[in-house]
Amino acid sequence: MKIEQNFIANSFIASANSAMIPVYNPADGELVAQVPSATADEAIGAVKTAAQAQKSWRKLTSVERGAYLHKLADALLTHKEAIGTALALESGKSLEDATNEAVYAADITRYHAEWARRIEGEIIPSDSPSENLLLQREPIGVISCLIPFNYPVYTLLRKIAPALITGNTVVVRPSNNTPCSAFEIAKAVQAAGIPAGVVNILTMDHATAEIVCTHPKVGMITLTGSVGAGRKVLEYSQVNIAKSSLELGGKTPAIVEADADLQQAAREIVGSKTTNCGQLCTAVERVYVHEAVYDEFVSLLKQHMGERQFGDRAAQPAHMGPLVNDNARLNIHQMVERAIDDGAQLEVGGYIPEGQGHFYPPTLLTNCRQDMEIVQEEIFGPVLPVLKYSNAEEALELANDHQFGLASVIYTENYRTAMGMANNIEAGEVYINRTPADPYQGYHAGWKRSGLGGDDGKHGMLEFTQTRLVVQKY
């Protein structure tokens, strides 16, 4: 069992708090580490350290900051085995998937490093002939980064890389379910020679996280998490009118038209729903199938879900792994039971397995209605409700009749249908004839309750800036 320390000003610091947060392997329940629960004074000290470091970090040229990010990407690759090993133990992912996540984190870090010469302002015409209006992009200051458990390595770099290239410094709170990989990332920060105080990583309870987020030196809070967590962050942001960037819940609809490649659609939808045990914000969460191919497609879904095995990925890397904890499993199972009580038909799965680990089988529900909880609320697990529709207009109406609008999926071979739906679906991302996998040069932003602001690409990078208008009279 490992004992971790918080990372402040490029050093690992023993906490004054004797209370520790246990970290368990969700595949077997084994205690794999204990991490410190930062005190309020330690958290405030980290914010002050970041604020002091930001004064000199922002004065570096963006090219100099980019050079540091390239070094960080190199260090992440050098440390990828250690990061992957920690992540596999705390998340139940296979070692290969966990190590690859570190590689993807290096990729997105390098992507943002390459923005060094591309962070642009604007020259705006003035009403006066002897005046220039210059709109500059400037850093915000200290950014509080709240990291989820499902892809904690990738998401951590997805947030800090754009924050750093634009001249900000960060205080990172990793998920208490998956914090050990964050401390391995801290070692890569050390190895890259990032100036002290630019990146600070601390584990803490909710009360201490609130202290960080409401500190007057924190200018922005960025969160990937649930709608409930997003509402809490909005409360925090009101204290000092801090900027918020929120990537929240999703309920991705997949529309399967009668002319779709049904084999491809079934295979990819089941893959989306069972990747990381369905713990993915853009995973397909509800399927609308044209009535002409409904029975055939349900049969294909049932076949693929029935064939998908689950278990400890340390022993069987090809299996679907566990849910994050037993509360998540119980909540999902209770949703399935309520759906069945409300008239849904269980086709496969739908039980709590015996033995260790927080496993839940791939589960398929048919005879679902639009008003059912299982269709309206995010499941965040390997459960797939299926509904029938008669025409494209009805499918679009059902897909849009929802509180969430993060991602969406359309399977059809008719480009008119595809573009008509793509231009009218109420979601921040539309994937045609494939399932979601956020390209980091795109823009990952949700509509409705799926969030505010967004991540990735030019627009995600600019979220970490504020503007200054310089009115230059001559």
Contact 406, 281 (CB under 8 A): yes
Using the 8-state DSSP alphabet, how is residue 382 labeled? S
Structure tokens at 363: 């589960």
In a 13 Å sphere around the CA of 91, the CA atoms on its Cβ side amount to: 32
* Beta strand 11-13 pairing with 383-389: unpaired
Q: Is 281 a catalytic residue?
A: yes
Q: Residue 418: helix, strand or coil by DSSP?
A: helix
Count Cβ atoms below 10 Å from residue 138 Cβ, excluding itself: 15
Burial (0-12, 13-18, 19+ Cβ within 10 Å), 216:
exposed
The residues with which 290 forms a beta bridge, in sequence order, are 389
Residue of 247, 285, 347, 463 marked catalytic = 247
Structure tokens at 474: 């001559």
* Beta strand 218-224 pairing with 142-146: parallel
Give 208-238 as a DSSP string.
HHHHHHT-TTEEEEEEES-HHHHHHHHHHHH
Structure tokens at 353: 């397995």
Q: What are phi and psi of 350, to 5 degrees?
A: 80, 35
Residue of 90, 281, 368, 378 marked catalytic = 281
Lookup result for tokens 């209605």: 369
Give 21-57 as a DSSP string.
EEEE-TTT--EEEEEE---HHHHHHHHHHHHHHHHHH
Contact 212, 47 (CB under 8 A): yes
Give residues with Cβ within 8 angstroms of 334, minimum separation 6.
Answer: none
Candidates 399, 426, 428; CA nearest to 411 is 399
Contact 408, 386 (CB under 8 A): no
The residues with which 136 forms a beta bridge, in sequence order, are 468
**C-alpha to C-alpha distance for 362 and 269, rounded to whole angstroms:** 12
Count Cβ atoms below 10 Å from residue 469 Cβ, excluding itself: 11
Q: Is 277 a catalytic residue?
A: no
What are the residue numbers of the active site?
A: 247, 281
